[in-house]
Structure 1
Amino acid sequence: MSSEVERRIAELRRLIEHHNYQYYVLDAPEVPDAEYDRLLRELQALEAAHPELATPDSPTQRVGAAPLKAFAEVAHAVPMLSLNNAFSEEDVVAFDRRAREGLGHDGELEYAVEPKFDGLAITLHYQDGQFVQGATRGDGYTGEDVSANLRTIHAIPLKLEDAPPWLEVRGEVLMLKRDFERLNADARSRGEKEFANPRNAAAGSLRQLDSRVTARRRLTFFAYGIGRVEGVELPPTHGEVMDWLGRLRFPVCPERRIVRGVQGLLHYFAELGAKRDKLPYEIDGAVYKLNRLAEQEALGFVARAPRWAIAHKYPAQEELTVVEAIDVQVGRTGVLTPVARLKPVFVGGVTVTNATLHNEDEVRRKDVRVGDTVIVRRAGDVIPEVVAILPERRPMRDLVTPLHEPFAMPTRCPECGAPVVKLEGEAAARCTNGLSCPAQRKQAIIHFASRRAMDIEGLGDKLVEQMVDKGLIETPADLYDVKKINLVKLSELERMAEKSASNLIAAIEASRHKDLARFILALGIRNVGEQTAKDLARHFGTLDALMQADAAMLMQVPDVGPVVAESILAFFAEPHNRAVIERLRAAQAWQDGAAQPVTAGHLAGKTFVLTGTLPDLSREAAKARIEAAGGKVAGSVSKKTDYVVAGADPGSKYTKAQELGVTILDEAQLLELLGEK
């Protein structure tokens, strides 16, 4: 009996660690979470019944242990030194020149390049393949023993096969973007303080005295080098060392490369920067290392940094600045958005003067006030936002009274003076004045003319603002009124010569007779996006049939529920909107079709969701192929979803599909399902 139990325990440990590796390292899970949980529960039960068979490397040890009173100190046998930084191409050229001069090398040097993770540096000690200790970098010479917390990180192997007698692996503990978002969402739901960024979240989680807290935080790990090794001869290059660590089942970054010379370094830096925002983790630069270990040893160290490596940093994505005012903007659907007017600050590669505060609840939760010093974040093309305030720098009237009052959303629209309402269950406050509000009027016309709607080329934001401000147009229907839109009146606008005016008139004329789906989208009905507009057009065939539909009829359309139906009914119940539609009818802005419920195609009735970047197909191409086969592409994962098609960096939709047990396909499987392979 005992031998059978031992064999089962060994098999369970092997299976669980295999699934840990597939999920946390390769991001390619083979079984649903429920099956994984069943295996883990069985192992826990067997170890509880046979405590003599429990071992430190068992997967059950990843759940955390009782809190420590303090961390013990760990002296690093090989110092964990920091890297010097490069902030410009000139700095990189100088680094390469110093390396070539130091080695007496006239040609191009070979470099190993990799992302510079924005996490926490740690070292892992393995004795005879067994994880025995892990520590933080600390001051480079002495760190903190965080072994109990590191055991909870599933990406870190607790036991190695074919390992040397002693191995010290260096790497970075970090939190993936999707796990950071989930952590903060949980904090918000409990009314707790949120973390400012994934690095702070990772550092704070790893340095918990209670490792059970760390176990709940979903940290991950990437190896990037070796500290000390005994009993094995290392390969001659850093790149080959990383490949060896990968074979030992350590997670190693797939974005690493081997390049030659300065141009290779700069090309990698630009390439990595272009996809920085799509990476599943935060980075703040690239790391360049001489690839040959003999060359690293020959160059050695200077002060507290190696001569053979450097960190090339991207412009900071977070900076400090001061809130000079808080204004309120009115969007296309009447949503009021508070916006912080900032003392100009250079962040994320541009000068930022405004940052969104999202809504009144967010402003109050973060307690942002005029005069506050704030952390502003801008990543890529994302709109800058205020992450947090520095309360210790708040201007005070006296020792206890802040100089400025808390923000309060206006009760009347700042654009038109109409009452502002906040519907139950919504965070947003809205102006009640519809298309009669100047701000909504402008945004409604801009949306109407957009590429996916009526596609009026040349009618951009600035031009619409001019045309509305000068009284040329008030509604989308005015675009087709020759008394309002003609060469004479358009030519009088700023930066509008006769040729530009003529081109715009031609573009407006070419936009007539759009198909019904585009026209429904162009109307800007709240909660009706591109796919829903297509479904409505296909189901009803004519605009009149749609306008006459009641809630029950609307909810016969796929994915139209009570909320969307209510938005459609409210839009068509507004006399002003009906009047605009009648004028657009007279202008022949759209053409009706016939009701065509989707019945053809072998994927009829199947709902797909696309996430991540597919190897060969663009998202639009994949969507077109699915729809041509009768399937539907939705924007979010639900119980009604049949398939999720996942590419690289899939994000939260992939996680939701796993949680709901939705079938996940890659591109090859999608093409096979479509009958194209």
Structure 2
Amino acid sequence: MSETTDLEARARIDELRAQLAEARSAYYEDDEPIMADAQYDELERELKALEEENPELKSEESPTETVGGAVAAGFTPTPHIQRMMSLDNAFSVEEIDEWAERTQKEAPGTPAFLTELKIDGLAVSLVYENGELIRGVTRGDGRIGEDVTANVRTIASVPQRLTTEHPPQILEVRGEVFYPTAEFEKLNEQRRADGLAEYANPRNTAAGSLRQKDAAVTASRALEVYVHGIGAHEGGEYPTSQSETYELLASWGLPTSPHSRVLHSLAEVREYIDEFGDKRHDLEHEIDGIVIKVDDFAHQRALGSTSRAPRWAIAYKYPPEEVTTKLLDIQVQVGRTGRVTPFGVMEPVKVAGSTVEKATLHNQFEVERKGVLIGDTIILRKAGDVIPEILGPVERLRDGSERAFEMPADCPSCGTRIAPTNEGEKDWRCPNQKDCPAQVTGRIAHAASRGAFDIEALGEESALALTNPDQRRDEAIAAVRAGHALDTETGRIRDADDVPGEQTPVVRTGGNLFDLTADDLRDVFVYQPLRRKGEPTGDWRLVRAFWTKRTTTRLKSTGETRVKEEKPSATTTKLIDELAKAKDTELWRVLVALSIRHVGPTAARSLATAFGSMEAIRTADVDRLADTDGVGTVVAESVRAFFADQWRADLVDAWAASGVTMEDEQDEDAPRTLEGITVVVTGSLEGFTRDGAKDAILSRGGKASGSVSKRTHFVVVGENAGSKADKAEELGLRILDEAQFVRLLSEGPAALKD
């Protein structure tokens, strides 16, 4: 290694150690993280790799060799009887395989694996003397923690005395304190009602609640704990495996997780990882991974430990759902109903398996409540497919350059003055519903969505090209003025005065949507930033949105010139075909497509089932509409207001004139077998699509619900059913297979009494 490289490695190692030490202090001592777990893991892995490449730079004080943090001021430093260790992490199943292979080499045999959920909570040690709880201590640095005995005693699930007549003389139990997700939601709901900032996540809240100076505050919080091992043990029986340990601890009244399992192959471990990856948001607590342990204690002893972690255990980490990143700006966007919503523009960051650059902030009051400033380092959360959410700022990283967000006075899309619809309403809206380009674009994209006409070829970009093709024209002009170029079919433009003029949108209110032809779309152009190898160049291009351009090619071999004339793209041809097919659809889908405020699929189905035609719905009064099951006064008034608006009524008439279905065919033969009956369908059925199952229930007078409750009469369970099936079992509800569902539809509940 060269001297320069050695110096660079040393500098980077020092930098990483300082960053990780600061992060640990904030996390363990202050309960105010300055970076998300994912970033910490990434930096720690980089440090570990550098130390392995440069063994002469290793240190026993490095974060890769130590555990936790120091004892915070105000707490009594208390030593653990046996050191509390950490766990090494794996971020792929391949790393799990490598770990298992190492255990086989170091301690031959075929081990069983104790698998359990990695609770995102606070590690704690409980000490019992002759069965009596005498001490509760946080992990601290693994050797010395903080005495939180008074606070631990307030946790209802922690027994003050073990339920055994022959307890060990000394028992040191390891566990994890957590804040149940349902209780955490209640806590934040109350804080919202009180106008207070929400807590960022259950883990930090649990840690802050346990480490209170006043035990009464801890007692007011709904903390729970699951124990998962023994540190020290003197006297009495002692198990021979991890799984036996859990059985013994449970028999003594200590709370253990119901989700742990003994598995006998890596294939089963992978299935366990996949299973709880799907269930992770349906559990009683937050998890960030899975812990895999060699079950047999003799095998564990043979494997031993490093300075900070046992070799017989490893933690598989799921893709992170919380990260930190820089908030570059707060801008606003206009939705299809005119709602003006602030959103954060951030430094791109990977979270939950995808790269995120934007996240909603809901409304200006939410920005204020969260206390977010432009320029903040913020905590971002994205759970699975859920829309990314900014949880709040990392205030301790502010340097004074941050600035507050101000809601604009005018609509950024059409320039109309924005304001709340009603006094005291938090959402601000653009009242120009007919002509605001952003609203028209949103309505067309929504009309094409899966819950409405289901036009696959009409996505957000196509909707934008139809309704507002010049949306990014100003950005392109600004780039040209800054010295960049705009590529067009006729050549490269470097003078802003030469940029083509504004276009007339092909679709204005949406009334002509189903009359569009390919020729109508020939001359629609859109502005796009020019990228090379995925990176922006600063240049722009103006390209056809729906047609290919005319191209000329000269063959070198013959000198012949071949011309490919412009023509509709394959996607455009598909779009025209799908628009024609979409005209023949169910009435409820047309209602959803109209973007009537408050009318989603459930209310639309109820209206379509009750009235049968668009004409019947538009002429019904508020009382008649409100009496429809699943509708109510708010939806009824919204429907009446929609049809009272002349341009909206004209839109419906235009669609009808284009041949869009405005009336359902009535199935006079469908028996009303489910009057007053609520049915939930979960999983895949062979003979029904999801919508088909709902329609079958509604057409027979029943209610098709999306959630299981005590008021549910039947739960139909198909393939790959999720948590709804589990909840139905917990509530003791009647569960049906598909054959029984068919019988229920045709004959009613009485047919299933046998």
Superposed pair shares fold, TM > 0.5: yes
| Residue 538 of structure 2 is aligned to residue 504 of structure 1 | no
Give the aligned residue type for 2:261: R
C-alpha contact (below 8 Å) 2:584/2:661 kept by paired residues: yes
Matches within 5 A, 1:212-361: 212-248=216-252, 250-260=254-264, 265-266=269-270, 268-361=272-365
Greater shift after overlay, 579-588 or 88-97? 88-97
| Residue 468 of structure 2 is aligned to residue 452 of structure 1 | no
* Matched residue count: 590
Query: What is the alpha-carbon distance in structure 1 between the residues aligned to residue 734 and residue 685 of structure 2?
Result: 7
Query: What is the alpha-carbon distance in structure 1 between the residues aligned to residue 370 and residue 651 of structure 2?
Result: 42
Deviations 1:486-515 (A, max 9, x none): 686799715785544333322222112322
SS in 1 for 2:96: helix
Give the aligned residue type for 1:304: R
Deviation at 1:527, TM superposition (A): 0.5
Change (3 A) 1:435 1:236: farther
Deviation at 1:268, TM superposition (A): 4.0
SS in 2 for 1:361: helix
Could you tell me the percent identity over the aligned residues? 40
Greater shift after overlay, 241-250 or 445-454? 241-250
| Residue 213 of structure 2 is aligned to residue 209 of structure 1 | yes
Based on CA coordinates, which of the two structures has the bigger radius of gyration?
A: 2
Query: What is the alpha-carbon distance in structure 2 between the residues aligned to residue 294 and residue 321 of structure 1?
Result: 45
Give the aligned residue type for 2:600: G
State the partner residue of 1:493. 546
Deviation at 1:181, TM superposition (A): 1.7
C-alpha contact (below 8 Å) 2:707/2:724 kept by paired residues: no
Change (3 A) 1:180 1:622: farther
Query: What is the alpha-carbon distance in structure 2 between the residues aligned to residue 466 and residue 538 of structure 1?
Result: 35
Q: Give 5+ residue unaligned stretches, structure 1.
A: 1-68, 397-402, 658-662
C-alpha contact (below 8 Å) 2:547/2:572 kept by paired residues: no
Change (3 A) 1:131 1:194: same
Change (3 A) 1:608 1:334: farther
Deviations 1:279-324 (A, max 9, x none): 3422222212111111111222221321211223234332222221
Deviations 1:603-625 (A, max 9, x none): 42355678x98999998798567
Deviation at 1:424, TM superposition (A): 3.3
Which residue among 585, 590, 593 is the counterpart of 2:661?
590
| Residue 621 of structure 2 is aligned to residue 550 of structure 1 | yes
Deviation at 1:88, TM superposition (A): 4.6
Give the aligned residue type for 2:433: G
Which residue among 462, 468, 472 is the counterpart of 2:506?
472
SS in 2 for 1:571: helix
Change (3 A) 1:238 1:543: same
Query: What is the alpha-carbon distance in structure 2 between the residues aligned to residue 512 and residue 175 of structure 1?
Result: 51
Query: What is the alpha-carbon distance in structure 2 between the residues aligned to residue 642 and residue 124 of structure 1?
Result: 43
Query: What is the alpha-carbon distance in structure 2 between the residues aligned to residue 582 and residue 433 of structure 1?
Result: 21
C-alpha contact (below 8 Å) 1:110/1:291 kept by paired residues: yes
State the partner residue of 1:146. 148
| Residue 136 of structure 2 is aligned to residue 134 of structure 1 | yes
Matches within 5 A, 1:494-533: 497-533=568-604
Which residue among 641, 647, 650 is the counterpart of 1:576?
647
Which residue among 413, 417, 427 is the counterpart of 1:415?
413
Change (3 A) 1:592 1:441: same
State the partner residue of 1:77. 81
SS in 1 for 2:617: helix
State the partner residue of 1:183. 187
State the partner residue of 2:123. 121
C-alpha contact (below 8 Å) 1:324/1:371 kept by paired residues: yes
Which residue among 679, 701, 710 is the counterpart of 1:630?
701
C-alpha contact (below 8 Å) 2:606/2:631 kept by paired residues: no
Query: What is the alpha-carbon distance in structure 2 between the residues aligned to residue 251 and residue 615 of structure 1?
Result: 39
Deviations 1:320-348 (A, max 9, x none): 22221211111121111111111222333
Query: What is the alpha-carbon distance in structure 2 between the residues aligned to residue 325 and residue 625 of structure 1?
Result: 49
Change (3 A) 1:74 1:542: same
Q: Normalising by the residue count of structure 1, what TM-score does the alignment of the two structures yield?
A: 0.77
Deviation at 1:71, TM superposition (A): 5.2
Change (3 A) 1:231 1:676: farther
Query: What is the alpha-carbon distance in structure 1 between the residues aligned to residue 247 and residue 689 of structure 2?
Result: 31
Greater shift after overlay, 494-503 or 167-176? 494-503
Deviation at 1:170, TM superposition (A): 2.0
Query: What is the alpha-carbon distance in structure 1 between the residues aligned to residue 692 and residue 132 of structure 2?
Result: 49
Change (3 A) 1:384 1:461: same
Query: What is the alpha-carbon distance in structure 1 between the residues aligned to residue 366 and residue 546 of structure 2?
Result: 40
Query: What is the alpha-carbon distance in structure 1 between the residues aligned to residue 413 and residue 611 of structure 2?
Result: 36
Deviations 1:358-381 (A, max 9, x none): 211111112322222222222222
State the partner residue of 2:9. none
Q: Give 5+ residue unaligned stretches, structure 2.
A: 1-72, 470-504, 525-543, 549-566
Query: What is the alpha-carbon distance in structure 2 between the residues aligned to residue 255 and residue 312 of structure 1?
Result: 16
C-alpha contact (below 8 Å) 1:164/1:231 kept by paired residues: no
C-alpha contact (below 8 Å) 2:715/2:735 kept by paired residues: no
SS in 2 for 1:306: coil
Query: What is the alpha-carbon distance in structure 2 between the residues aligned to residue 295 and residue 134 of structure 1?
Result: 29
SS in 2 for 1:173: strand
State the partner residue of 1:33. none
SS in 2 for 1:294: helix
C-alpha contact (below 8 Å) 1:164/1:229 kept by paired residues: no
C-alpha contact (below 8 Å) 1:514/1:590 kept by paired residues: yes
C-alpha contact (below 8 Å) 2:82/2:232 kept by paired residues: yes
SS in 1 for 2:511: helix
C-alpha contact (below 8 Å) 2:713/2:733 kept by paired residues: no
SS in 1 for 2:367: helix
Deviation at 1:101, TM superposition (A): 2.8
| Residue 605 of structure 2 is aligned to residue 534 of structure 1 | yes
C-alpha contact (below 8 Å) 1:137/1:143 kept by paired residues: yes
Q: Normalising by the residue count of structure 2, what TM-score does the alignment of the two structures yield?
A: 0.69
C-alpha contact (below 8 Å) 1:608/1:642 kept by paired residues: yes
Change (3 A) 1:594 1:348: closer
Query: What is the alpha-carbon distance in structure 2 between the residues aligned to residue 131 and residue 625 of structure 1?
Result: 59
Change (3 A) 1:197 1:179: same
Deviations 1:189-220 (A, max 9, x none): 22334221110011111122333332332222
| Residue 250 of structure 2 is aligned to residue 197 of structure 1 | no
C-alpha contact (below 8 Å) 2:343/2:358 kept by paired residues: yes
Deviations 1:122-170 (A, max 9, x none): 2334456554543322222233343443343333344554464124432
Deviation at 1:580, TM superposition (A): 0.8
C-alpha contact (below 8 Å) 1:329/1:336 kept by paired residues: yes
SS in 1 for 2:512: helix
State the partner residue of 2:735. 668
Change (3 A) 1:244 1:226: same
Deviation at 1:520, TM superposition (A): 1.2
Query: What is the alpha-carbon distance in structure 2 between the residues aligned to residue 561 and residue 515 of structure 1?
Result: 22
